[in-house]
Structure 1
Amino acid sequence: MKKFAMLMLSLCAVTWLSACAPEVGSDAWCKQMKEKDSGDWTANEAKDYAKHCVFK
């Protein structure tokens, strides 16, 4: 039972830490998008990047 509790706690911690993403339009998000290959951007990401990072 103790091993199961530790396993569940570990899974929750990993899920919680990996779910963090910067808010669209924030400086961190703009920086992340600059580093991402523009060919991998979705249409919405490109629109949001132009709106929030280029035409501030």
Structure 2
Amino acid sequence: MFSWYGCSDDSELLTKEKIADTFDDAEETWTVQRSSNQGKPVETPVAKAVFAGK
């Protein structure tokens, strides 16, 4: 799996391939596959996401 985003607690958000697939936003609560210390990914609800752009 690939890591495109890091979290403030040093965990990483993982996706199988594309950066656009990092967040599962099909439901009201977004979820991610989150890994700590390169461990097994755990499905985790997103509490806060901050995006920056040009």
Structure richer in helix, relative to its length: 1
Q: TM-score, normalised by structure 2?
A: 0.23
Larger Rg: 1
Structure richer in strand, relative to its length: 2
